Amino acid sequence: MERIWIAGPCAAESREQILTTAAQLVTSSQEAGIELNFFRAGAWKMRSAPGGFTGAGEEALPWLQEVQNTHHIPVCVEVMNAKQVELCAKHDIRTVWVGARTGVNPIEVQRIADAVKHSDFTVMVKNPIIPDLKLWMGNIDRFLQAGIQNVMAVHRGFTDAQENVYRNAPVWQLPIELKVQMPELPILCDPSHLSGNALWVSELAQVAMTYGFNGLMVECHCCPEQALSDQKQQITPKEWAVMIAKLDLRSGTTDMSLVKQRSILESIDNQLSELLYQRMVTADEIGRIKRQQHIAVVQPQQWQQVVKRYQKHTDDAEYQEFINKFLELLHQSSIKRQN
C-alpha cells in the first residue's frame, strides 16, 4: 500500500517560517529516503478562546504558493468557508481540508462542497470534534456528490468531557468503522492533534499504521518552541523524517471484524487507564479532606456500595471472582494512600 505523508506547521506565521520549514522537510525527507506528498499549513486558525493567533490569513497564500513552485510539492490549507476556497484557487492551492470544528456545521460544509463542485480540488475531511460517524460520513458524501475525485478522511480524535493524557480521545473504532463502510476511501491519521503533545506523536502514528491507515498528517515547525499555535505538539522536520522512516508499515491483520474488536478493546484500555489514574487522584483528595476533618479512613458501608456498583453487570461467577480480587486491590491501595 502506498502511504501518503503530509507535514507542515499548524499555522503559517511568516514567509521565513514557511520557507524554512518546507526546505528542512524536503532535505530531511530526502536524507531519510521518504517522499513528502503534501506540505500543510493553516492560513486561517479557529481558536477556542479570543486573543489567540488567528493566522496570517490571505497574506500567507503567496508564501505557500512559493513552496509549491520551489519544491514542486502540493500545498494544503484548511478552509472554513466558500470564500477561502476561492482565495486558495486564486493562488493555485488546490488541496484543502475541512477542519474538525467546521465539520459540526453541515450547512457550511455544503457551501464548501458547492464551492469546489466538479473541480480538480483534492479535499480532506477531518472528523467532526464530536464522535458522530454519520455526520463525518455525511460530510464526506457532500464532496463525493459534488463530483470530487480525490476525497480523503483524516482522523484527529474527539473532544472528551474529561481531561485525558491525549488532547483528543482516539476512539479508534470510529475510523475503523468508516473504513468498513467506505473501503475505497483513503483514511489518514493526524497524531499531532490526537496527542496534543510531541511526546506521543510517534506512538500514535505507529498505532495508525498498524490499523492500516493510508497515511499521516503531522504538524512540523522549524522551531516548535516558538510556534504561535499548538506549540506543544509540533515536532521538527528532522524528527518527522526520523519518525516516518522508523514506522513499521506492515499493517496487522486484515480481518476487519477482528481489527474492529481490537480497536474497541484499545479504547476501553485507554479509558480504564485514565479512569484508574483519576480514581487515585480523587481518592487522595478525599483522604486529604478526611484528615482535615478527622474522619476515619475506612467507611465500611461506603465500600459496600462501591462493591455493588461493580457487581451489577453480570452474575458470571468467574467474572465476580475477578472483580472481587480487583476491588480488594483497589481498596487496599486507597486505604494505604489515605493513611
96 part of the interface to ligand PEP, by CB under 6 A: no
Strand segments (E) across the chain: 4-8, 38-40, 75-79, 95-98, 122-126, 150-155, 187-189, 215-219
6 part of the interface to ligand PEP, by CB under 6 A: no
Question: Which residue has the CB atom at the shortest distance from ligand PEP?
Answer: 99
Q: Which does 126 bind (CB under 5 to 8 A by kind): ligand PEP, Mn ion, none?
A: ligand PEP
Dist. CA 236–CA 8, nearest whole Å: 9
Q: Which of 126, 142, 155, 221 binds ligand PEP (CB under 6 A)?
A: 126
Q: Which of 4, 7, 10, 112 binds Mn ion (CB under 5 A)?
A: 10
CB of 9 to ligand PEP, least distance (A): 9
230 part of the interface to Mn ion, by CB under 5 A: yes
Cβ proximity to ligand PEP: between 60 and 100 the closer is: 100
Cβ proximity to ligand PEP: between 87 and 153 the closer is: 153
CB of 42 to ligand PEP, least distance (A): 4
Cβ proximity to Mn ion: between 177 and 230 the closer is: 230
CB of 172 to ligand PEP, least distance (A): 16
75-79 and 95-98 strand pairing: parallel
**Which has the closest alpha carbon to 79: 109, 114, 37?**
109
Give me the amino acid identity at 215.
Answer: G
10 part of the interface to ligand PEP, by CB under 6 A: yes
Cβ proximity to ligand PEP: between 99 and 259 the closer is: 99
Dist. CA 235–CA 192, nearest whole Å: 9
Site for ligand PEP in 23-82 (CB under 6 A): 42, 78
Is residue 49 a contact partner of residue 259, using CB atoms and an 8 Å limit?
no
Count of residues engaged in binding ligand PEP, rule: CB under 6 A: 9
Grid cell locating 248:
513499521
Q: Which residues fall within 8 angstroms of residue 333, CB to CB, at 6 or more apart?
A: 280
Is residue 232 a contact partner of residue 37, using CB atoms and an 8 Å limit?
no
Q: What value, to the nearest 5°, has the Cα angle with vertex 72 and ends 90 and 8?
A: 80
Question: Which residue has the CB atom at the shortest distance from Mn ion?
Answer: 10
Site for ligand PEP in 184-213 (CB under 6 A): 193
Q: Which of 91, 142, 156, 221 binds ligand PEP (CB under 6 A)?
A: 156
Give me the amino acid identity at 231.
Answer: Q
100 part of the interface to ligand PEP, by CB under 6 A: yes
Is residue 154 a contact partner of residue 217, using CB atoms and an 8 Å limit?
yes
List b or e across 248-277, with b for residues whose CB sees 16 or more CB atoms inside 10 angstroms.
Answer: eeeeeeeeeeebbebbeebbeebeeebeee
CB of 225 to ligand PEP, least distance (A): 18
Q: What is the largest CA-CA distance in the chain?
A: 72
Q: Which does 111 bind (CB under 5 to 8 A by kind): ligand PEP, Mn ion, none?
A: none
167 part of the interface to ligand PEP, by CB under 6 A: no
142 part of the interface to ligand PEP, by CB under 6 A: no
Residues that bind ligand PEP (CB under 6 A): 10, 42, 78, 99-101, 126, 156, 193
Residues that bind Mn ion (CB under 5 A): 10, 230
